[in-house]
């Protein structure tokens, strides 16, 4: 079992004996950058580096940047990272599908990256959030039911079902989702922390969180373009530790 700071700790996600460390988010996202990593103890089942998921999702994000035409507006070093990931897109062609979206629903014609259900994108987003919560609390909390955590994005099609939504419905669906989530921008989000001492480039990944009565919502932003929300029921002690970590009162984060 992994140990840290003199204490025996289990997996960040399930509490079982840890045999490795999980990077949050995966190192592949920061291709070409000299930065540290937030890492947490992990069992074999919840270390995404050992399966196909990290690669598929990270490359899928880069494909999304390309299809949205956002590469030209990114800083040079971030654009270089995206282009490097795109060179490996052929590796995930069975996991990332491009759906042609015609005019309609108030959105222009474009191709929408679709993460296939077998990649388990929702679980991946839950695991990323769980790892950051563990980094703040330094313990596995069995009261946090990650399987029931809410996961959604205003920028991607829901890939949790068994069938791709009808193409004629996609533009309307995306417009509706973006309208629904627009109101969240003005809420009092708390900026999250980063790897130390060399932080993640914020243009590639950053996160914020919002604490309410008995619940916490994380907002993950990739390439300054794509947002994922993860909400979960939480005891007050967890919210307190998150706020302490974000304000620098909980000590330095873990790093590889």
The tokens for 164 are: 């791709």
Residue 229, pLDDT above cutoff 90: yes
- Contact at 8 Å (CB) between 113 and 65? no
Residues 6+ apart with CB under 8 A from 183: none
Task: State the total domains in the chain.
Answer: 1
pTM recorded for the entire structure = 0.86
Confidence of residue 117 (pLDDT cuts 50, 70, 90): confident
pLDDT per residue as tens digits for the range 44-81: 899 977 668 899 999 999 988 888 777 777 888 888 89
Count of C-beta atoms within a 10 Å radius of residue 232: 21
How far apart CA 223 and CA 63 sit, in angstroms, is 11
Residue 160 inside a domain? The answer is: no
Residue 256 inside a domain? The answer is: no
Which residues lie across from 228 on neighbouring strands?
A: 220
Residue 176 inside a domain? The answer is: yes
Residue 175, pLDDT above cutoff 80: no
**Residue range(s) defining the domain that contains residue 87:** 3-154+167-246
Confidence of residue 173 (pLDDT cuts 50, 70, 90): low
Residue 181 inside a domain? The answer is: yes
CA-based nearest residue to 59, from 108, 99, 98:
98
CA distances from 68 to 41, 175, 201 (A): 36, 15, 21
Residue 93 inside a domain? The answer is: yes
How far apart CA 114 and CA 155 sit, in angstroms, is 11
Average pLDDT value for the chain: 83
| Residue located via tokens 């069938």 | 163
Tell me the helix, strand and coil percentages in the chain, rounded to 5. 40, 20, 40
CA distances from 61 to 20, 37, 69, 246 (A): 26, 19, 13, 26
Residue 147 inside a domain? The answer is: yes
Residue 252 inside a domain? The answer is: no
Residue 162 inside a domain? The answer is: no
What's the confidence (pLDDT) of residue 157? 65
Element (H, E) at 101: strand 96-101
The tokens for 250 are: 């909980």
How far apart CA 95 and CA 86 sit, in angstroms, is 14
Kindly report whether the peptide bond that precedes residue 252 is cis, defined as omega within 30 degrees of 0: no
């Amino acid at each position: 079992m992994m140990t840290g700071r003199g204490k025996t700790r289990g997996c960040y996600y399930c509490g079982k004996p840890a045999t490795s460390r999980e990077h949050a988010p995966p190192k592949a996202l920061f291709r070409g950058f000299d930065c540290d990593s937030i890492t947490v103890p992990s069992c074999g089942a919840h270390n995404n580096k050992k399966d196909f998921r990290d690669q598929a999702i990270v490359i899928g994000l880069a494909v999304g940047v390309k299809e949205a035409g956002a590469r030209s507006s990114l800083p040079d070093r971030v654009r270089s990272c995206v282009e490097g990931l795109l060179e490996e897109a052929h590796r995930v062609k069975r996991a990332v599908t491009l759906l042609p979206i015609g005019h309609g629903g108030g959105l222009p014609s474009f191709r929408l990256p679709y993460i296939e259900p077998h990649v388990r994108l929702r679980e991946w987003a839950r695991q990323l959030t769980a790892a950051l919560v563990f980094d703040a609390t330094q313990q596995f909390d069995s009261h946090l039911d990650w399987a029931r955590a809410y996961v959604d994005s205003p920028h991607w099609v829901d890939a949790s079902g068994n069938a791709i939504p009808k193409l004629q419905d996609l533009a309307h669906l995306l417009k509706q989702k973006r309208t629904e989530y627009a109101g969240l921008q003005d809420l009092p989000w708390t900026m999250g922390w980063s790897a130390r001492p060399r932080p993640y480039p914020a243009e590639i990944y950053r996160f914020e969180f919002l604490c309410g009565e008995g619940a916490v919502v994380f907002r993950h932003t990739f390439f300054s373009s794509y947002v994922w929300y993860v909400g979960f029921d939480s005891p007050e002690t967890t919210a307190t530790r998150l706020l302490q970590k974000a304000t620098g009162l909980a000590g330095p984060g873990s790093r590889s």
